[in-house]
Structure 1
């Protein structure tokens, strides 16, 4: 039995109508910076107004920062951190999808620390310095089921000048409170539902094949895989199905409880670092079959792939390749089996560039792979995935 540690200090409010009880919680401050995306849905669907009402019921003031892009960028992290300082905010609320929650975490860092966020980040040009001060406390309210950011201590930000899309992990970034209310997810369009669901799926899959996996993490991951395989196709086809939305939301949070990503995420981040219109989940879908087929052929983690195939409904699976079949079928069932890199401006002759970027920006995830991937292997996976 492997030795392991497990730690998550986040109080999670899960279930239909959970947002309505936020004001009853012991919020971690008296003035919140609410971080949302630059899009219209958070306001148009009434989610922002509902959160503001909850804060006011709890006796909290609030300030809005509404500039976050689908892939959060460094300049907005710095701007949001400065706004939090200037207005005297003592906690941060991330309201929206993974981009808003991730940005809220990074902003919480810069609201209390000097210098530039990249001083503390890793990647090619990051300095990796320790934080001078603890970040502001965070409340995460997720309106999507994809990133698991409401349950983990990680955040991803892009430095546009150098095309670095890098993760940063610090246990001080676990949200104090997270709200997972499926009612906030009912309006997500079908394709975004699929992209987000597959993002959660690959968080779980990568955690199972990860060479640092452990029984606790595997327990959460396999249950997440089971729920996504069973309920995501329904959520994509009928977004008003409350049962399907609830189980996909739960799967996403379960995947976030133990998220140990492999180089699959590094490889996708390299693509969307250059092509900001590429949804993270879509990029993962594009490379996933070739990526996992590579590891299946190494026979390095056959047992793990068989377990995941069974979780996806192939109850009599005996071969690691059964997982590839189940994954391909799930992509068809969710109508995402025909995605093309070329539709997002990715050129086949530039694939070497992404392979270099993947290792330079998030090379530490390659150390989690069940067997080592060479640069040549990475390029071959891109090539097999390219359309």
Structure 2
């Protein structure tokens, strides 16, 4: 338990106003592919022009790829990689939320490795090949607080033909530089603030109940839980609250420093793989109560749940149930306690295809769950979560 290896090679500029210092950094090339979503927020909010200005000040040219979907697809990635190669880009900037940063990492990989990205994936239909080259260097500028993608080497990509949403990554895919500037998060709508913040929360809570958990990393996870329980409702209620936004941003990055996801993330990947309009954070919220209640009822991780309850302000917690109750209160305080699967097209009958798929895509580690989940257990959690 005293032995560990810790490696996060990403240089991070954290804090309000840090984007203004991007041009002062030693950037990893002279021409960047800027990757953003297909929506309007990066352009209308002025974030894209600010990044372009910073690159100009640094003497770096850029081209724009603005086609990323909320759940980035394999085609998205290959199209972006083709643009990077055609324009001679020597690094990639991911600007936006987790989708843009994930796509930027995958594009950086696909732009310099031969063949098709999925040939290297370890997912259900992946080719599991060994990479030939390290990816192009990556710079991440996050405008949301949820995925922790700015400090990890992972990308979540969907192969549309097989409805397969899966994690993809290699150690070489850590960003070289990341900007975490809470001023860029002030205009995120309340519902998305909640979805993203709870994604970070579940990165932490899954890490704490994970049987492969380590005390050194647990400190990041418990601080994440403490910050989000205290500050996420305030950021949802008033997006202009700079202190709440800053604390939620810090929680997100801390969760990214130590992320050992359990089966819950794979269960959500099955959901939004089949139903790509479902936001990842929303899917996690939908199954959260039933998922944690299952383990609380079994009393298999009471000690870890008590730690989390205390981090959430339940000073004299003595049971796992108190964590579940505190989680329910946090969801209610963020106005997301009653999300409905049915609003995204999910039906009771369609739940039956989720357990098998959850085991075949990369999201979290079933072998690290506090108790073994059978397919019937997984289906029961989905069914109890259905509205």
Give your verdict on TM over 0.5: yes
CA deviation digits over 1:251-275, x for unaligned, max 9?
0000000111111000011111111
Corresponding position of 1:134: 134
Corresponding position of 1:347: 347
Cα separation, 2, equivalents of 1:323 and 1:347: 29
**RMSD after superposition:** 0.9
Q: Does 1:281 align with 2:299?
A: no
Moved more, 1-10 or 150-159: 1-10
Corresponding position of 1:217: 217
**Contact 2:164/2:270 (8 A) holds in 1:** yes
Task: Provide the secondary structure at the position in 1 that maps to 2:93.
Answer: strand
Task: Provide the secondary structure at the position in 1 that maps to 2:278.
Answer: coil
Query: Shift of residue 22 of structure 1?
Result: 0.5
Query: Shift of residue 169 of structure 1?
Result: 2.4
Corresponding position of 2:103: 103
**Contact 2:261/2:363 (8 A) holds in 1:** no
Corresponding position of 1:116: 116
Task: Provide the secondary structure at the position in 2 that maps to 1:135.
Answer: coil
Q: Does 1:55 align with 2:67?
A: no
Cα separation, 1, equivalents of 2:263 and 2:131: 26
Query: Shift of residue 142 of structure 1?
Result: 0.2
Query: Shift of residue 300 of structure 1?
Result: 1.8
Corresponding position of 1:71: 71
Which structure 1 residue ranges, 4+ long, deviate > 4 Å from structure 2? none
Q: Does 1:202 align with 2:208?
A: no
Query: Shift of residue 4 of structure 1?
Result: 2.3
Corresponding position of 2:145: 145
Structure 2 segments unaligned to the other structure (5+ residues) = none
Cα separation, 2, equivalents of 1:30 and 1:175: 17
Corresponding position of 1:385: 385
Corresponding position of 1:88: 88
Cα separation, 2, equivalents of 1:363 and 1:245: 27
Corresponding position of 1:31: 31
Cα separation, 1, equivalents of 2:154 and 2:212: 17
Cα distance change on mapping 1:2 and 1:287 into 2, 3 Å = farther
Query: Shift of residue 217 of structure 1?
Result: 1.2
Corresponding position of 2:337: 337
Q: Does 1:246 align with 2:256?
A: no
Task: Provide the secondary structure at the position in 2 that maps to 1:95.
Answer: strand
**1:306-345 maps to which residues of 2 (within 5 A)?**
306-345=306-345
Cα separation, 2, equivalents of 1:368 and 1:56: 46
Query: Shift of residue 368 of structure 1?
Result: 2.1
Cα distance change on mapping 1:346 and 1:2 into 2, 3 Å = farther
Task: Provide the secondary structure at the position in 2 that maps to 1:348.
Answer: coil
Corresponding position of 1:22: 22
Query: Shift of residue 363 of structure 1?
Result: 7.4
For normalisation by structure 1, the TM-score amounts to 0.99
For normalisation by structure 2, the TM-score amounts to 0.99
Cα separation, 2, equivalents of 1:250 and 1:171: 23
Cα separation, 1, equivalents of 2:202 and 2:99: 17
**Contact 2:232/2:244 (8 A) holds in 1:** yes
CA deviation digits over 1:277-317, x for unaligned, max 9?
11110110000010011111222211110000000111111
Task: Provide the secondary structure at the position in 2 that maps to 1:128.
Answer: coil
**Contact 2:143/2:184 (8 A) holds in 1:** yes
Structure 1 segments unaligned to the other structure (5+ residues) = none
CA deviation digits over 1:166-204, x for unaligned, max 9?
001211111100000001000000000000000000000
Task: Provide the secondary structure at the position in 1 that maps to 2:72.
Answer: coil
Cα separation, 2, equivalents of 1:123 and 1:149: 19
Cα separation, 2, equivalents of 1:308 and 1:151: 23
Task: Provide the secondary structure at the position in 2 that maps to 1:235.
Answer: helix
Task: Provide the secondary structure at the position in 1 that maps to 2:349.
Answer: helix
